[in-house]
Chains A and B, each alone.
Chain A
């Protein structure tokens, strides 16, 4: 049974902590994108949706209490549609699309909303209560390593220099700034109304509303020199800095996957279809190298060669791993992250897979190209890759 992606949107991405979306809860962000999808397809009723699948890497606190189901309730304004939370760390938002796709292919549904959301503003990296297994921690501590340390390990093992990392980061910002300037992401983005309740200087309660519709990560005026001045943050004498790592962010992105029957019933316009999706495990010490194993698997499943791919979104968790993956697989830099990546645009963990998918659809369309690939490294030593074909 054929499946089609018939809609895809994302919020603009806010910087975590001090950014514009720190006043917006993740459930609201996700619901906002889903409401937009429904508004764009007025003939579809909520009751026709079979499931809402929400990717999330830290499903606790504001993202806890079964956020998948809550987002379904809030986004569709109906009690009839179920929802689930899916966690494969940084590929969660791509994983959910693959799950939706397989369910429909197997006749387990005909219309599913899938994507992901992450608000890193209110939640500590890794969650609020980190309790590793003592025995495992002693025997295999790297299973629990912070991602930054694995990025250092990748830089060492694959001999990625500090200079190369900073240069990569610089270009990410330049591409992203240009995209912002050109309005490249306009078709991706659902404007989010942000409301802040606060006390003014004299202690009076005030409210302030604004519309957030542009990615705020790209840094104007950054330079290779400025990036070179930053101190390594994960290892003494290391090369990975806050400047050549992805930004922590807030954001949501969702797509709608439909069966052929649904496309016909509502005269939907298919955008793309998922051709393949593969995940793979690697040594957790060099987590960032995950795509090197996942990408060939996805290509093989699709029966395609790397040359067939027209555009690649490789999540820039760290410049070190992005460069190492590019070199190991011989990826073509010309078609890689053409509008910048997570170093400039941010990496809202569980949302990223869906966000990059939405971005690649619009860029492929603009270029009138066929195949696009979204890939990322995934925590605790994994890689994921999905291939889409434009329709």
Chain B
């Protein structure tokens, strides 16, 4: 059989999920057909306009409105507004026949089996043979949807469960029926990862599948534990938030966002449809939760749930929390646990989990109780919801944003040690775990030769996680292949002559250690290796230069030292480009300020699709001083052709920095000029990013990489550009859009980008521009208002506009 190709996708149903799923397929470059029902009657506006039900605009009203709401929503479902026209809109009555041209039809209509079956019956009439049909159901068994369908339909049908918002939430559950072609399952597990950037998780056709089954159990069991231990809403959220490697919304805030009604719906579904679940009772709704639901306190959608936002007497809004005993809202109390205090400074999540769980205080007690319940529960879910334990970890990690899944947490706490403690505490555990421990196995996972293996229950042996055998995974190499390390960075040998430099400073800011690390990595690579990748597994690639250091020197008025430090920063950035080995930078999430400058000096950037790149130095009262301003002048020069209106191109570059524009996707980083067409790349899959970056580095080596020659041919505009800078800055100031200090920073930036006040367009060198840039940077650091801005970021983490 020839390879499956997905060129065009149909999404049936344009609700919150449908529209956003359509957008994500547009993101990856496909043509998308988005359909919804024809409205039954004209609305008031249409009546007033004298429209008829036959009008296209009326017939497509539902899909038109839903899609337009979606593309305006935040966070944006599209990588770029320009992708909007990849989605064509229509309705089920007039346009369903167009599914004949689609390679994949995704059903996202209401959660009612009868309606879904009608839709599938119609789709069957038009679909082409071999095309994929999938349902995005989160609750209806896939098996029940097969009835009445042809063999080809059944073979090509399965569940594909996206999570909201589909662009940002990493999980995609793949749920085959008994009739689904096995090759289709393999295809989608790979396609979802590589093309859609998702963590694909193979799930069995059991109620709530994997992530919701475990996630909702975890919440429901907490609902009970909270009462037993008499903990408050804010206490639980403090205990189950970032400190535990979970999202800030923790437990109760997550409930408010999801909606209590949804949660109860899923819980009831599990209780009713899983008669053999040994913890069925945990899915019973506690009285206080039922009461809340009866009161209509469902969370964000009803403006109150476990929290309620009110406007205080001083006009400031305040978030109250619910007292679970009295069901009254009151001001949140400060939460203090010794266990949290002890764990706070520990960066490593595994170590942190150990400290938290083993602490004797009430927090520790809570952790032990809830983890033991969770561990017990997941032990019994094999093979019910999955044959392999890693899929449960994958599902919970990707679906709920936990840093560690249940089995991974258990590993962190020690398999046997925890099992013993659980037994001591009277917790029940599935037999296979005892067997496993008896056989002398010490963990659920282990890394062998850089590949992560999981304990396979049926064969009672460790097997590599399928699909990861050929991946380059930093976490799996760190232990054995670290060759150099300082406080802020680690250099790891990726094999095949390629080194990786990872940052692990706070927020991955670039400070003295980072600079040392970059230089060391380039030294090492130049001496003994072929190339270097700069990539890390932190929350963000890099939040920018270490502002604290700059602030200290500026406050102490050590301007020579400051200038020297900036020069070192600049030289390091220049080395990234001008070294004898290729340097590839692989970014994800925030790549701001210095992190952006570092990227701009790479031989190649492999940016994850979710890269938020920008030169945001204005916020701290300076201009980009690590080569960012220079690089913009250089790219401006390179981008101009004879006859272009130079001043307009100049203005665009100027405003990108002047307005501290941050790209909201890798694609936008190209549009804003942070990334270079034809050189840099965007990759949708975070999981595959490092593997690609390593390969790209090798490709550069293989192509015959030679050290580039520093540029001396950058054409700057000089005075031609200065006038508009001064007028623009003055106009913005006079119109009260910017402060006097902003005006000054703008003028300094303009001066650097223009290459100074040269009388005519002149060719200058990178070094000339770097000197201008550094001078302007240091001069700004002499200003009180810049110091205030720096201090605000250092002490409060807030951008001050003064």
| Contact A134 B723, beta carbon cutoff 8 Å | yes
Residue A133 is within 8 A (CB to CB) of chain B in the complex: yes
* Residue among B724, B730, B731, B737 making CB contact with A131, cutoff 8 Å: B724
Residue B388 is within 8 A (CB to CB) of chain A in the complex: no
The B694-734 residues at the A interface (CB cut-off 8 A) are 719-720, 722-727, 730-731, 734
Residue A108 is within 8 A (CB to CB) of chain B in the complex: no
CA distance A211 to B277 in the complex (A): 77
Interface string of B629-645 (1 = CB under 8 A from A): 00000000000000001
Residue B678 is within 8 A (CB to CB) of chain A in the complex: no
Whether A130 touches B724, Cβ cut-off 8 Å, given contacts A141-B730, A145-B731, A146-B731, is yes
| Contact A132 B726, beta carbon cutoff 8 Å | yes
Residue A229 is within 8 A (CB to CB) of chain B in the complex: no
| Contact A235 B734, beta carbon cutoff 8 Å | yes
Chain B residues with CB below 8 A from A144, complex form: 723, 727, 731
| Contact A129 B647, beta carbon cutoff 8 Å | yes
- Minimum C-beta distance from A66 to chain B (A): 21
- Minimum C-beta distance from B88 to chain A (A): 13
| Contact A134 B735, beta carbon cutoff 8 Å | no
Question: Which residue of chain A lies nearest to B729 when distances are taken between CB atoms in the complex?
Answer: A141
| Contact A132 B736, beta carbon cutoff 8 Å | no
| Contact A152 B724, beta carbon cutoff 8 Å | no
Interface centre among A138, A153, A238 (most CB of B within 10 A): A138
Whether A129 touches B645, Cβ cut-off 8 Å, given contacts A141-B731, A152-B735, A237-B736, is yes
* Residue among B645, B647, B723, B735 making CB contact with A238, cutoff 8 Å: B735
Residue B788 is within 8 A (CB to CB) of chain A in the complex: no
CA distance A152 to B757 in the complex (A): 32
Interface string of A114-142 (1 = CB under 8 A from B): 00000000000000111111101110011
Question: Which residue of chain B lies nearest to A152 when distances are taken between CB atoms in the complex?
Answer: B735
Whether A149 touches B719, Cβ cut-off 8 Å, given contacts A129-B645, A134-B757, is no
The A359-377 residues at the B interface (CB cut-off 8 A) are none
CA distance A137 to B743 in the complex (A): 13
The B733-751 residues at the A interface (CB cut-off 8 A) are 734-737
* Residue among A134, A142, A146, A235 making CB contact with B719, cutoff 8 Å: A134
Chain A residues with CB below 8 A from B737, complex form: 235-236
Residue A234 is within 8 A (CB to CB) of chain B in the complex: yes
- Minimum C-beta distance from A356 to chain B (A): 29
- Minimum C-beta distance from B725 to chain A (A): 8
The B392-408 residues at the A interface (CB cut-off 8 A) are none
Chain A residues touching B, range: 20 to 34
Interface centre among B722, B734, B736 (most CB of A within 10 A): B734
| Contact A235 B727, beta carbon cutoff 8 Å | no
| Contact B734 A137, beta carbon cutoff 8 Å | no
Which secondary structure dominates where chain A touches chain B? loop
- Minimum C-beta distance from A20 to chain B (A): 22
CA distance A142 to B729 in the complex (A): 11
Question: Which residue of chain B lies nearest to A141 when distances are taken between CB atoms in the complex?
Answer: B730
Question: Which residue of chain B lies nearest to A237 when distances are taken between CB atoms in the complex?
Answer: B736
- Minimum C-beta distance from A44 to chain B (A): 43
- Minimum C-beta distance from A249 to chain B (A): 24
Interface centre among B720, B722, B727 (most CB of A within 10 A): B727
- Minimum C-beta distance from B299 to chain A (A): 33
Chain A residues with CB below 8 A from B734, complex form: 141-142, 145, 149, 153, 235
| Contact A131 B720, beta carbon cutoff 8 Å | yes
Question: Which residue of chain B lies nearest to A153 when distances are taken between CB atoms in the complex?
Answer: B734
CA distance A136 to B727 in the complex (A): 9
Chain B residues with CB below 8 A from A133, complex form: 723
| Contact A141 B645, beta carbon cutoff 8 Å | no
Chain A residues with CB below 8 A from B736, complex form: 235-238
Whether A134 touches B647, Cβ cut-off 8 Å, given contacts A145-B731, A145-B734, is no
The B146-177 residues at the A interface (CB cut-off 8 A) are none
Question: Which residue of chain B lies nearest to A235 when distances are taken between CB atoms in the complex?
Answer: B735
Interface string of A143-158 (1 = CB under 8 A from B): 0111001001100000
CA distance A299 to B139 in the complex (A): 84
Interface string of A206-245 (1 = CB under 8 A from B): 0000000000000000000000000000111110000000
Question: Which residue of chain A lies nearest to B737 when distances are taken between CB atoms in the complex?
Answer: A236
| Contact B726 A134, beta carbon cutoff 8 Å | yes
The A223-282 residues at the B interface (CB cut-off 8 A) are 234-238
| Contact A130 B647, beta carbon cutoff 8 Å | yes
CA distance A145 to B737 in the complex (A): 14
| Contact A128 B645, beta carbon cutoff 8 Å | yes
| Contact A234 B735, beta carbon cutoff 8 Å | yes
Chain A residues with CB below 8 A from B735, complex form: 149, 152, 234-236, 238
CA distance A134 to B730 in the complex (A): 12
- Minimum C-beta distance from A146 to chain B (A): 6
* Residue among A137, A142, A236, A238 making CB contact with B722, cutoff 8 Å: A137
| Contact A134 B722, beta carbon cutoff 8 Å | yes
- Minimum C-beta distance from A149 to chain B (A): 6
CA distance A165 to B414 in the complex (A): 74
CA distance A324 to B435 in the complex (A): 92
Whether A136 touches B731, Cβ cut-off 8 Å, given contacts A131-B647, A236-B736, A238-B736, is no
CA distance A236 to B801 in the complex (A): 15
Chain A residues with CB below 8 A from B727, complex form: 132, 137, 141, 144-145
CA distance A149 to B727 in the complex (A): 12
16 intermolecular pairs with C-beta atoms under 8 Å apart:
A129-B648, A131-B723, A132-B724, A132-B726, A132-B727, A137-B723, A137-B727, A141-B731, A145-B730, A149-B734, A152-B735, A235-B734, A235-B737, A236-B736, A237-B736, A238-B735
Q: Which residues of chain B have a CB within 8 Å of any CB of chain A? A: 645, 647-648, 719-720, 722-727, 730-731, 734-737, 757
Given contacts A134-B757, A235-B737, A236-B736, 11 further A-B contacts (CB under 8 A): A130-B647, A130-B724, A134-B726, A137-B722, A137-B730, A138-B726, A142-B734, A144-B727, A146-B731, A149-B735, A236-B735
For the complex of A and B, the 3 pairs showing the least CB-CB separation, nearest first, are: A132-B723, A141-B730, A134-B722
